[in-house]
Chains A and B, each alone.
Chain A
């Protein structure tokens, strides 16, 4: 697919990419290499895979990694109960052709996300989410899948991909990934979006929100991100906050910091951050007195919040 088409396609699928990300996605497809995305939580790493799948009409197969994730949950598992039943059945009724059944036939294999992606007849998008949460042993196993798009099942042999999936790995950097894994992947660090791009993202997701509200709120979030916060609000938090402000029928940011503080729970998710961003800080971020916001709107917000 052409680079320009990827840009357009992602936009149609509801994702506004920057130039670097579109290039990385194009390259991942052109070189058939996995794409490793790193970045802070909430910058939209996971949704890139979903948007790519929507863009190309591919199925999205997601593997959520966690500590203790093992091959049975990620790759394949033998259907032991079916195998036992089959043993009992074949003991009672001998097959007419006299052939013993194969206990490790493919029909007894339960396909988990990785094997499902490899054996899909149509190319799919495989999302391996938060790979840094998985153990190092599992990461080592992934090397074969990511380098050769094949999986070895000892009882069956090597299963090679019939169609090469687009593999997207995400990591929040809670653990250092191995060099071997990094070298098999293309890399993109997803930064917080620029002001213009974030406004575009919010407008795409919340077309019904007032333009002035969106612009002012996104500008406020950008200033907030420069504060020394423990958990910096991501795009998802911006969307939640503006959605909340829109539900309160606001057409722009209110002047009163106290009113903004009441909705900041959408963005500040730790006690320390809530404590740190007091009315004074909000006032500073709002840039002092601002014109164009009616007192009526601000006054009505308190009642509305009380009702909610």
Chain B
């Protein structure tokens, strides 16, 4: 193992690091990263962070998480409280050195700095894997992680089928709402005159292709917040399964939290056995304890800021044990209610045990639903409305 990693491998390693944290960074993105590094004058290498951020980020969530991941990878000594996940010592990476080496390599080859492909990057195996060769094996391997021991593969097909049916039943139960917005359809009662006249232009003014419109019907948006803290350890697998069923069947959005909140919708939609590892990677670095109020606040103000409306349903899977001040949960849920969302609390026990925080916020929750096993969850459609 060389002391200083080659620039191409360093970039590929960083890409793998990002992929492990839910970023979609493929070969084209890595080529763009290299091109940006080569085009940027050496004196301005400090700008590489913002350039790469534009390339690898694709939504507000990844945008917010990127700086921390960048620091963690390139400047691990600056990250306070970071935990080394293996016993191996490793020479610290140096971004300026990497960029300089990249430029030198290009100059020695007498190639144009604009062409990353000419570096043979496309053939490099370093970037093609799914993060296996990074050697860091991020949070997934950490014994501290509450989900690490659970295996998604142990579920029977019939159980999964039941969960999907459950999500469908909930979807049928929550009535589709008529929207103010209209949609164009091939058959309906109301003719869309404007579009019909426009279509008739191509037939010399004869309305041969009438267009119709009707009010759009949409399902309420469903959001699922799953508590994956230590106290919820044994239920997390069941709840993540439920979340996946909802994501697939009714296009719900799913989040996990213990001390922070992270969206996992895209991870759940991917049909792969490695979902568990990826979720672990996303939640890696969360501290101990459970901060429900902070997480709900973050959900209202950041993740679902524009998506919450009077048609939203929020299902919280948690035992309600919160390390935030007890009154904070009520304040956070009040904000959630203020956006018009209906909150249902799914409790992992047969009888609801109210923590202090939950007792104070009780009036803000539309319903408490026991969800300690698959059987109890089957009552869910009847309780949500």
Q: Which residues of A contact B (CB under 8 A)?
A: 2-3, 19-20, 23-24, 26-28, 30-31, 33, 35, 38, 67-68, 72, 78, 80-81, 84, 172-174, 179, 182-183, 186-189, 228
Q: B24, B201, B307, B338: which has the most chain A beta carbons within 10 Å? A: B201
The answer to whether B32 touches A78 (Cβ under 8 A) is: no
The closest CB in chain A to the CB of B213 belongs to A68
Knowing A3-B44, A80-B201 are in contact, say whether A23-B51 is a contact too (CB < 8 A): yes
The answer to whether A187 touches B58 (Cβ under 8 A) is: yes
Shortest Cβ gap from A252 to chain B (Å): 31
B53 sits at the interface (CB 8 A): yes
The closest CB in chain B to the CB of A172 belongs to B306
Measured between alpha carbons, how far is A72 from B199 in the docked complex, in Å?
Answer: 10
Measured between alpha carbons, how far is A68 from B204 in the docked complex, in Å?
Answer: 23
Contacts of B383 in A (CB 8 A): none
The answer to whether B57 touches A187 (Cβ under 8 A) is: yes
B40 sits at the interface (CB 8 A): yes
Measured between alpha carbons, how far is A62 from B50 in the docked complex, in Å?
Answer: 27
B184 sits at the interface (CB 8 A): yes
Shortest Cβ gap from A107 to chain B (Å): 17
The answer to whether A189 touches B306 (Cβ under 8 A) is: no
Once A and B bind, how many residue pairs between them come within 8 Å at the CB atom?
Answer: 73
The answer to whether B201 touches A186 (Cβ under 8 A) is: no
The answer to whether A30 touches B35 (Cβ under 8 A) is: yes
Contacts of B305 in A (CB 8 A): 173
Measured between alpha carbons, how far is A33 from B181 in the docked complex, in Å?
Answer: 33
The answer to whether B181 touches A27 (Cβ under 8 A) is: no
| Extra A-B contacts (18), CB below 8 Å, given A38-B60, A183-B58 | A2-B41, A3-B40, A20-B50, A23-B50, A27-B36, A28-B54, A31-B36, A72-B198, A80-B201, A80-B202, A173-B306, A174-B306, A182-B58, A187-B53, A187-B54, A187-B58, A187-B63, A228-B338
CB < 8 Å: which of A27, A67, A84, A172 contacts B54? Answer: A27
The answer to whether A23 touches B47 (Cβ under 8 A) is: yes
Contacts of A228 in B (CB 8 A): 335, 338
B interface secondary structure, majority: helix
Q: B28, B36, B64: which has the most chain A beta carbons within 10 Å? A: B36
The answer to whether A67 touches B181 (Cβ under 8 A) is: yes
In the assembled complex, 5 residue pairs joining A and B whose CB atoms fall closer than 8 Å, in A order, are A2-B41, A23-B47, A30-B114, A33-B32, A173-B60
Shortest Cβ gap from A33 to chain B (Å): 7
Contacts of B51 in A (CB 8 A): 23-24, 26-27
Knowing A19-B50, A27-B36, A31-B35 are in contact, say whether A189-B60 is a contact too (CB < 8 A): yes
The closest CB in chain B to the CB of A18 belongs to B50
The closest CB in chain A to the CB of B300 belongs to A228
Q: A2, A28, A31: which has the most chain B beta carbons within 10 Å? A: A31
Shortest Cβ gap from B115 to chain A (Å): 12
B175 sits at the interface (CB 8 A): no
B272 sits at the interface (CB 8 A): no
Contacts of A3 in B (CB 8 A): 40-41, 44, 47
Shortest Cβ gap from A136 to chain B (Å): 11
Shortest Cβ gap from A182 to chain B (Å): 4
Contacts of B184 in A (CB 8 A): 68
**Chain B, 13-45, CB within 8 A of any chain A CB:** 24, 28, 32, 35-36, 39-41, 44
Measured between alpha carbons, how far is A31 from B114 in the docked complex, in Å?
Answer: 9
Shortest Cβ gap from A37 to chain B (Å): 10
Measured between alpha carbons, how far is A179 from B57 in the docked complex, in Å?
Answer: 11
Shortest Cβ gap from A15 to chain B (Å): 17
Shortest Cβ gap from A82 to chain B (Å): 11
Measured between alpha carbons, how far is A187 from B305 in the docked complex, in Å?
Answer: 19
The closest CB in chain B to the CB of A184 belongs to B28
Q: B57, B184, B305: which has the most chain A beta carbons within 10 Å? A: B57
The answer to whether A188 touches B54 (Cβ under 8 A) is: yes
The answer to whether A189 touches B57 (Cβ under 8 A) is: yes
**Chain B, 173-218, CB within 8 A of any chain A CB:** 181, 184, 195, 198, 201-202, 204
Contacts of A67 in B (CB 8 A): 181
**Chain B, 336-350, CB within 8 A of any chain A CB:** 338
The answer to whether B54 touches A23 (Cβ under 8 A) is: yes
Contacts of B181 in A (CB 8 A): 67
Contacts of B36 in A (CB 8 A): 27, 30-31
Digitize B57-101: 1 where CB-to-A-CB distance is under 8 Å, 0 elsewhere. 111100110000000000000000000000000000000000000
Measured between alpha carbons, how far is A187 from B195 in the docked complex, in Å?
Answer: 35
B55 sits at the interface (CB 8 A): yes
Contacts of A20 in B (CB 8 A): 50, 53-54
The answer to whether B204 touches A186 (Cβ under 8 A) is: no
Measured between alpha carbons, how far is A67 from B47 in the docked complex, in Å?
Answer: 38
Shortest Cβ gap from B255 to chain A (Å): 14
Measured between alpha carbons, how far is A189 from B32 in the docked complex, in Å?
Answer: 19
Measured between alpha carbons, how far is A180 from B195 in the docked complex, in Å?
Answer: 29
Contacts of A189 in B (CB 8 A): 57, 60, 63-64
Measured between alpha carbons, how far is A3 from B50 in the docked complex, in Å?
Answer: 12
Contacts of B338 in A (CB 8 A): 228
The closest CB in chain B to the CB of A4 belongs to B44
Measured between alpha carbons, how far is A186 from B47 in the docked complex, in Å?
Answer: 15
Contacts of B307 in A (CB 8 A): 173
Shortest Cβ gap from A58 to chain B (Å): 21
Shortest Cβ gap from A131 to chain B (Å): 14
Measured between alpha carbons, how far is A39 from B195 in the docked complex, in Å?
Answer: 33
Measured between alpha carbons, how far is A19 from B53 in the docked complex, in Å?
Answer: 12
The answer to whether A27 touches B55 (Cβ under 8 A) is: yes
Closest 5 CB pairs of A and B: A23-B50, A20-B50, A24-B54, A182-B58, A189-B63
CB < 8 Å: which of A28, A84, A172, A182 contacts B204? Answer: A84
The answer to whether A179 touches B54 (Cβ under 8 A) is: no
Measured between alpha carbons, how far is A258 from B58 in the docked complex, in Å?
Answer: 44
The answer to whether B40 touches A183 (Cβ under 8 A) is: no
Shortest Cβ gap from B223 to chain A (Å): 13
Measured between alpha carbons, how far is A20 from B63 in the docked complex, in Å?
Answer: 11
Contacts of B28 in A (CB 8 A): 183
Measured between alpha carbons, how far is A28 from B335 in the docked complex, in Å?
Answer: 39
Q: B54, B63, B335: which has the most chain A beta carbons within 10 Å? A: B54
The answer to whether B55 touches A186 (Cβ under 8 A) is: yes
Measured between alpha carbons, how far is A26 from B47 in the docked complex, in Å?
Answer: 11
